[in-house]
Structure 1
Amino acid sequence: MQNINLIDGYKIKSIYIEDKKVVEKLCGKCSDYYMLHDGVLPSKDEVDEIFTALPPNKDYEDKFVLGIYKFNNELVGIVDIVRDFPTVGEWMLGLMLIEPEERGSGLGKITHQALAKWAINLGAKYFRIGTIEDNHKGINFWSTLGYTKIKEVNMDFKAKAHIVNVMILKLCNQL
């Protein structure tokens, strides 16, 4: 993936498992998300899973782990996307995590718009996400972007069980 330039010197670029120390630091800053989602702080194994976890019948050619960087090359966010899952043309946003100091600034929306354009150019027709029902801010964020709930799924996480809202966005409206 080529770098995507955002506003004010922010950029999106590929990030690799060799960079996991900075990802660990970011995940630590985002402990509020992990406590809400999993009920425990993120472990080193969980950070590794950002880079290694794949859904059924997918390989690493279909997985993109992307960093959101400030003008000074500081990692302030991470996005995990799987191409053509669960169906061709539908891309799963497995994780979009932005450090608390950057939230509410519009960075998430700007990042999403740039990723939508990039994915459309690679054949994406839809983005799909799963948001736990207890994550009211997350549901509001995704709904504001145009995502609609298509179903609910019960899932067990590290120390919690949740109802997950599966939401979808048709990308042709994002250009």
Structure 2
Amino acid sequence: MAPLFQAADLTAERVADADVDLFQPLLERCEDFYQRCYGRPARPDEAKQMPEERPPELGPEHGHLVALRDASGALVGILEGVSDFPSPGEWYLGLMLLAPEVRGHRRGEAVIHAYEDWLRGQGARLLRLGVAEPNPAALRFWTRVGFSEEKWVGPMEQGLLNYRVLRMSKPLA
């Protein structure tokens, strides 16, 4: 399969919903994220839940799963989002997760900038995401790469935790 984009030393490729199980080992390796945002490790079926967590009014053609692979082909990151939600041209990034061993060195910035370029090519004009209140490092990251605060939502139950989520956005046009 042809790569969607390159970002630093990582290659992005689309993953079909039917192949979502390939993400499970990475989700389990990212226990720090799950403990911070859910108060527990990744569930044994965490990857299988990803397509199920999309807004029910969106058809499967609006969901996208992206694997990030290093030069050796190892899976080291995930992007998960939906297109045209809540309106045409607006995309929502539900998850950007990098394996602990590849974090830092500005890879996250390279990934999000390359992803934004790819989204523009898909007709996206705005990208939204949510930042969990107990994840201040994520808030610093998303602010640094140009996202602006829209509003706090919640509190809501996330795994074993209750907290607010900050909705952020970035124009792409």
Tell me the TM-score range normalised by the shorter chain: over 0.9
Residue aligning to 1:103: 103
TM-score by length of 1: 0.91
Q: Secondary structure at the match of 1:44?
A: coil
Gaps of 5+ in 1: none
The answer to whether structure 1 residue 56 and structure 2 residue 59 are counterparts is no
Per residue, is there more helix in 1 or in 2? 1
Q: Structure 1 residues 22, 56: closer, same or farther in 2, change over 3 A?
A: closer
Q: Please identify, of 149-158 and 16-25, the stretch whose mean Cα deviation from structure 2 is larger.
A: 16-25
Q: Does structure 2 retain, via aligned residues, the 8 Å contact 1:82–1:93? A: yes
Q: Secondary structure at the match of 2:45?
A: helix
Q: Does structure 1 retain, via aligned residues, the 8 Å contact 2:24–2:45? A: no
Q: Secondary structure at the match of 1:51?
A: helix
Supply the AA of the counterpart residue of 1:46: E
Q: Secondary structure at the match of 1:134?
A: coil
Within 5 Å, which residues of 2 pair with 1:147-166? 147-154=147-154, 155-166=156-167
Q: Does structure 1 retain, via aligned residues, the 8 Å contact 2:152–2:164? A: yes
The answer to whether structure 1 residue 139 and structure 2 residue 139 are counterparts is yes
Residue aligning to 1:71: 71
Q: Does structure 1 retain, via aligned residues, the 8 Å contact 2:149–2:166? A: yes
Q: For residues 18 and 57 of structure 1, what CA distance do their matches in structure 2 show?
A: 20
TM-score by length of 2: 0.92
Q: Does structure 2 retain, via aligned residues, the 8 Å contact 1:16–1:51? A: no
Within 5 Å, which residues of 2 pair with 1:1-175? 2-3=2-3, 4-8=5-9, 10-17=10-17, 19-154=19-154, 155-172=156-173
Q: Secondary structure at the match of 2:128?
A: strand
Shift of 1:5: 2.4
Shift of 1:144: 0.3
Supply the AA of the counterpart residue of 1:127: L
Shift of 1:138: 0.3
Shift of 1:24: 1.3
Q: For residues 15 and 147 of structure 1, what CA distance do their matches in structure 2 show?
A: 26
Q: Does structure 2 retain, via aligned residues, the 8 Å contact 1:81–1:92? A: yes
Q: Structure 1 residues 16, 132: closer, same or farther in 2, change over 3 A?
A: same
- Give the superposed CA RMSD: 1.6
Q: Deviations over 1:81-136 (max 9, x none)?
A: 10011111110000001011111121111111111111111111111000111101
Shift of 1:21: 4.6
Shift of 1:52: 3.3
Q: Does structure 2 retain, via aligned residues, the 8 Å contact 1:63–1:83? A: yes
Q: Does structure 1 retain, via aligned residues, the 8 Å contact 2:31–2:41? A: yes
Q: For residues 169 and 90 of structure 1, what CA distance do their matches in structure 2 show?
A: 10
Q: For residues 15 and 73 of structure 1, what CA distance do their matches in structure 2 show?
A: 14
